[in-house]
Amino acid sequence: MKAFIQGTGSISAQDSTVFPATIREYEGNRLPVADPDYKQWIDIRQIRRMGRVIKMGVGASHISLQDAGLTMPDAIITGTAYGCLADTGVFLNKLVTQQEDMLTPTAFIQSTHNTVAGQIALMLGCHGYNNTFVHGAFSLENALQDGLLLLQEDPARKVLAGALDEITEYSHTILSRFGLYKNAHTQQLLRSGTPGTMAGEGAAFFVLGAEKNARSKAELTGVEMIYRPASAEETAGHIAGFLQRHGLQPADIDLLLTGRNGDVRGDAYYDNIETTLFAGRPVAAFKHFCGEYPTAAAFGMWMAVQALHTGQVPAAAMFKGHAPATLKRVLIWNHQHATHHSLILLTAC
C-alpha cells in the first residue's frame, strides 16, 4: 500500500511561494496563517460566506491540484481536529446571547466538519468519494490511510487528501487556560527547555496516485498510528516494527523529522527515542515554522515532500546532526501529549 505524491499545496504561517529560502519568524504564543489573496482560487460570490479555515482548505487544495496538473480528482478526503471553529463560535455566541432567537443559517451551515470537503466537491463539481475524519492528531493520518486504501482498491484513481485546522480567539483563550502555550520566539522555541509551545494553524493537501508520473515528487510509502502506547519502549518497538514492515532498519532513514514543539513535557519523548533507536541519525523539526496544532504533521509532510523533491533539507529545519547529503527516506514521527503517535514514511522517487 503506497502512493506517489503528484502535487502538494500548503497555506500556513510560512509563505509557501518563498519557503524555505525566506522564513517568517514569529514572537508571541501563536503563529497565525499568512493569508494569501484567496480570491485567486475562490469566486467572490462564494468567498463571502467562508470562514478562514474554509478558505485555507479550499486554497491549499487548489494549489495541490494545480501542482499535480489535475482538474478533477476521483476522491476528496479531509482531516480536521477542530473543524470550522470560527463559525461554530459565531453560532454558539448568538445562540447564548440572543437566547435562541433570530439566529441565521450561514454560520451553522459552515460549522459542520465536512464543510471544506463539501465545498471542494461543489466547486469542482466532483461526484466522487468524499470523506472527512475528525480525530484529533489522527485526522490527517486517517485521511492518508483512507487514500492509500482507495488506491489499493482501484489504482486508476487520483485522490486529493489533506488536513486543516484554525486558531480562533475562543479556542486560543480556552486552550491557553489548559497551559498549552507560552510566549517565545520561533528561533529559540525548540531549545527553550520549558513547558508550553506556540499555537499554530494551517492547511495542506496532497494529490495521490498509484502510478509514478512526471509530476511525482515523492512516494508516500506508509502511514501508521499508535494509540496510547504504554511506554516509550512500546513506541520504539512499534516504530522499529513499522520500518521492518517496509523492509527497513532505523539506519536506512536519512532524516527523522519529528513533531518536536519546544514543550519539554513532550519533547523528552522524542529525545529518548532519537538517542536510542535513531542514535547518530540526523533529526529535523517543523513546528517552529508552523506552530502546534493537531494536524500540524500535514505541514511537516509538505515540507518533507519539498525536501525529497529538491534533495535539500532547509538548514533552519535541522535539529540534530547535519542535513544529509543524499536524501532517500524521511520518517515523520509526530506525537500529541504522548498518547497519539503517527508515523509517515516518505521515499524519494
Partner 1 sequence: MADLKVQIIQQLNLQEVKPEDIENDQPLFKEGLGLDSIDALELIVLLQQHHNVRIANPEDGPEIFYSVRTMAEYITAEKSKQG
Partner 2 sequence: MSEQVWIAGGDVICGTGLNLAACLDAFEKMQPGMGAMQHLRSAHANTFPVAEVKAGNDELAAMAGMPAHWSRTALLSMIAAQAAWNSTGLGAVSNYRVGLVSANTVGGMDKTEHFMETYLQDTATGRLREVVHHECGSITELVADALGVRHHVSTISTACSSGANALMYGARMIRAGMLDAVIAGGTDALTRFTLNGFNTLMILDQQKCRPFDDTRTGLNLGEGAGYVVLVSDRLAEQTTAWCRLSGFANANDAYHQTASSPEGTGNFIAMQGALNMAGVQPADIGYINLHGTGTQNNDSSEGLAIVRLFNGHYPPVSSTKSFTGHTLGASGGIEAVFSAYALRHGIIYPNAQFTTPMKELPFAPVTTFSRGNALRHVMSNSFGFGGNCSSLVFSE
Q: Which residues pair with 263 in a beta bridge?
A: 194
48 binds partner 1 (CB under 8 A): yes
Task: Please say whether the beta carbons of 197 and 334 come within 8 A.
Answer: no
**Beta-bridge mates of residue 31:** 200
Quick one: which of 22, 173, 231, 326 contacts partner 2 (CB under 8 A)? 173
Residue bearing cell 502535487: 7
Exactly one of 44, 214, 230, 325 binds partner 1 (CB under 8 A); that residue is 44
Contact letters for partner 2, residues 219-238 (x by CB under 8 A):
------x-xx----------
Q: Residue 165 Cβ, how far from partner 1 at the closest point, in Å?
A: 23
Give least dist CB 210 to partner 2, A.
15
What is the residue-wise DSSP string for 223-279? EEEEES-SSHHHHHHHHHHHHHHTT--GGG-SEEEE---SBHHHHHHHHHHHHTTTT
**Which residue(s) pair with 335 in the sheet?**
341
Cβ atoms 226, 240 nearer than 8 A: no
Comparing C-alpha atoms, which of 51, 120, 48, 117 is closest to residue 89?
A: 51
Query: By C-beta, is 2 or 94 nearer to partner 1?
Result: 94
**Distance linking the first and last C-alpha atoms of the chain:** 16
CB of 293 to partner 2, least distance (A): 12
Taking the C-alpha atoms of residue 91 and residue 208, their distance in angstroms, rounded to an integer, is 36
The sign of the CA dihedral 286, 258, 27, 198 is positive
Binding mask of the shown chain, residues 91 to 110, with x at each position contacting partner 1 by CB under 8 A:
-----------xxxxx--x-
Residue that the C-alpha cell 502555550 belongs to:
181
| Secondary structure tally for the chain: helices H, strands E | 11, 15
142 binds partner 2 (CB under 8 A): yes
Residue 242 · residue 222 · CB < 8 Å: yes
Member of 17, 22, 40, 99 binding partner 2 (CB under 8 A): 99
With CB under 5 to 8 Å by kind, the binding choice for 95 among partner 2, partner 1, none is partner 2
Torsion of CA 35, 116, 309, 331, to 10 degrees: 110
Out of 47, 236, 323, 349, which residue is the one contacting partner 1 (CB under 8 A)? 47
Which residue in the set 21, 45, 99, 214 belongs to the binding site for partner 1 (CB under 8 A)?
Answer: 45
Minimum CB distance to partner 1 smaller for 48 or for 228: 48
Answer for which of 17, 45, 100, 322 binds partner 2 (CB under 8 A) is 100
Taking CA atoms, 265 is separated from 5, 98, 260, 270, in Å, by 34, 42, 10, 10
- Binding mask 218-257 vs partner 1 (x if CB under 8 A, - otherwise)? ----------------------------------------
Q: Determine contact, residues 164/57, Cβ cutoff 8 Å.
A: yes
| Shortest Å, Cβ 146 to partner 2 | 7
Q: 146 or 274: whose CB is closer to partner 2? A: 146
Q: Pick the stretch among 16-24, 79-87, 183-191, 257-265 that binds partner 2 (CB under 8 A).
A: 79-87
**Chain positions contacting partner 1, by CB under 8 A:** 44-45, 47-49, 102-106, 109
- Interacting residues toward partner 2 by CB under 8 A: 1, 76, 81-83, 91-93, 95-97, 99-101, 103-105, 108-109, 111-115, 117-119, 121-122, 124-136, 138-139, 142, 146, 149, 152-153, 170, 173-174, 177-178, 225, 227-228
